[in-house]
Amino acid sequence: MKAEVYRVAERYGLPVSLVANSWINHPRTPWLEMVVVDAGPDIADDWIAERAGPGDIVVTADLPLADRVLKAGAQAIGATGRPFTHDSIGSALAGRMIGEHLRSVGEVTGGAKPFGPADRSRFLQALDQAVQKARRAKLGR
């Protein structure tokens, strides 16, 4: 989804922070900041959650991170274009816990479906809507 994020950011002139525990190839543009954090569990998530706030959009498949940034006032969007909301995050976290439990007792739960063109379209639409919402909030509308 990085290419889609870059395209939308460039179109709207938005800054992007790409956060990871190792360097990732990315476009060399003034609006993109590559942040390399120490390796370790949740260090990148902690960096993001500590800085996220109103007007920010976080793209993540990590449900606990989505919950943290929502609580901080930011928007969170999954890679398939599913926006996380205060109303939906609780049930998503509960489903995650059930899946973890099933896997811990030996159930085969499958995995994520392959990413397809419909997912890409849904993601771009959700990202565009999130940008518009953030812009309206910034303008106080």
Per residue in 87-112, pLDDT (tens digit) is 887 777 676 667 665 777 777 766 66
The radius of gyration of the chain from alpha carbons, rounded to an integer in Å, stands at 16
Confidence (pLDDT) at 141? 57
Listed as ranges, residues in the chain with pLDDT below 50 are none
Q: What is the pTM of this model?
A: 0.82
Of the chain, the percentage scoring pLDDT greater than 70 comes to: 89
Confidence (pLDDT) at 111? 62
Confidence (pLDDT) at 106? 75
